[in-house]
Amino acid sequence: MGQVSFENVGKAYPNGFEAVKDLNLEITEGEFLVMVGPSGCGKSTTLRMIAGLEEITSGKISIDDRIINDLPPKDRDIAMVFQNYALYPHMNVGDNIGFALKLQKRPKSEIKERVATAARILELTELLDRKPAQLSGGQRQRVAMGRAIVRRPQVFLLDEPLSNLDAKLRVQMRAEITDLQREVGVTTFYVTHDQVEAMTMADRVAVINRGVLQQVAAPQTLFDEPENLFVAAFIGSPSMNLMEGQLSNVGTSDEVVLQLGSHALAVPPSLLAARPALAGYLNRPIVVGLRPKDFEDASITPEHPTDQRLPVEVTNVEALGYEKIVYFDLDAKPVISEDALDIEDESVAAEVLNRTTSQVSGRFDPATRVRSGETTEVCVDMANAHFFDLDSGAAIRS
């Protein structure tokens, strides 16, 4: 077992700051759920409330059918892996892994067996006699995981466990932790600010911002069907290009074009059929979202419809080997999230809000020969365009 439920959970501090607001979330038995969001969004507070390290202000948290609001941490049957590993430097690996069992006064034979099993799973058997100072960062992280596994809890809690590792080791540990969770099958709640970790590790991802849960879905669903502007901008790297535009009919026909600044792009009938609510937004300002992957150099995609192309001046090109990130300007007003405007200097914020030109990023085939400063033609895959209400920021679908 190990189903975790939040029902209308809130956390407010004495100074009035609300870290978490009316959270309703269910983590199913055996699920690997990752909560992701920017710094200060409430994700670590949420994890600490499960652990009993933060008292909740309202609502209730349950593990299976047991409400744990008032239970001390030791009675919640959870195991937590910290960002800094929290290993005892004077103990060897084996003693670190088995220390919680020793506190529980388990028989020595049982402790030895459980430590050996955890060490085998984590490939630490040859390191059991070493002290933490003799281990690499990745090995220390595995020891911290072993200490959690050996307790056989109902729930694993991991608070940014990879943030202290270098980039290459983070990639390796992502795969190791994911494989480990699948093997052990324990319900896991993982907190990170790194969307790549969230997208590559999770069964489902919960996106949170300013204490409010924005969307919970499978990673691909988050990318393909963001519920609002925040999720659209936060998920994906480079992030989605968000601009003001307007949909309108071509003369008296049923054909619809998207006006982006001085440019018009044909909207495929299949897209309009899939999102009938767009009919109510004709001739009104609207937010258009275009992923970088939906732009391409027209010279290498000659079959692309001519009414879905833009003449642009390239401002920068980043060659990454497997692709090129190409930047260009469009004379369409950019849509900036509140978080991006959370700037102390009001004059800077005002300048951002008054911009009338958007810098757009596209992920081009590495074979493209476009160069910075050149004018070129760019294809836009309008079938994948996203649309959002300008006032509410909600996605427009059905």
Write out pLDDT tens, residues 308-333.
999 999 999 999 999 999 999 999 99
Q: Which amino acid is at 115?
A: V
* pLDDT score, position 250: 84
Through-space distance between the first and last CA atoms of the chain, rounded to whole angstroms:
37
Beta strands in the chain (DSSP E): 4-12, 18-27, 32-36, 58-63, 66-67, 78-81, 155-159, 187-192, 204-209, 212-217, 241-249, 256-260, 263-267, 285-290, 295-297, 309-319, 324-330, 358-364, 375-380, 386-388
Residue 238: is the preceding peptide bond cis (ω within 30°)? yes
3-state secondary structure (DSSP) of residue 166: coil
Going by C-alpha positions, the residue among 131, 129, 92, 99 that lies closest to residue 114 is 99
**Tens digits of residue pLDDT in 38-75:** 988 999 999 999 999 999 999 999 999 899 999 999 89
Average pLDDT across the chain, whole number: 91
* pLDDT score, position 228: 95
Alpha helices in the chain (DSSP H): 43-51, 93-103, 108-121, 137-149, 167-184, 195-201, 219-224, 229-234, 269-274, 346-353
Give the phi and the psi of residue 303 in degrees, each rounded to 5. Answer: -80, -10
Give me the percent of the chain exceeding a pLDDT of 70: 95
**Tens digits of residue pLDDT in 151-197:** 888 999 999 888 877 888 888 888 888 988 888 899 999 999 999 99
**Tens digits of residue pLDDT in 344-390:** 455 555 666 778 889 999 999 999 999 999 999 999 999 999 999 99
Higher pLDDT, 359 or 339: 359
Please tell me the pTM assigned to this model.
Answer: 0.90
Give me the percent of the chain exceeding a pLDDT of 90: 72
CA atoms within 13 A of residue 37's CA, in its CB half-sphere: 24
Cβ(174)–Cβ(200) below 8 Å: yes
Q: How confident is the model at residue 343 (pLDDT cuts 50, 70, 90)?
A: very low
pLDDT at residue 280 greater than cutoff 50: yes
Nearby residues of 307 by Cβ (< 8 Å), 6 or more positions away: 257, 264, 265, 266
Cβ(48)–Cβ(68) below 8 Å: no
Q: What is the mean pLDDT of residues 201-216?
A: 96
3-state secondary structure (DSSP) of residue 149: helix
Q: Which helix (H) or strand (E) holds 41?
A: none
Q: Which two tokens stand for residue 48?
A: 């600490």
* pLDDT score, position 69: 94
* pLDDT score, position 8: 98
Cβ(30)–Cβ(182) below 8 Å: no
Nearby residues of 27 by Cβ (< 8 Å), 6 or more positions away: 3, 4, 5, 33, 155, 187, 189
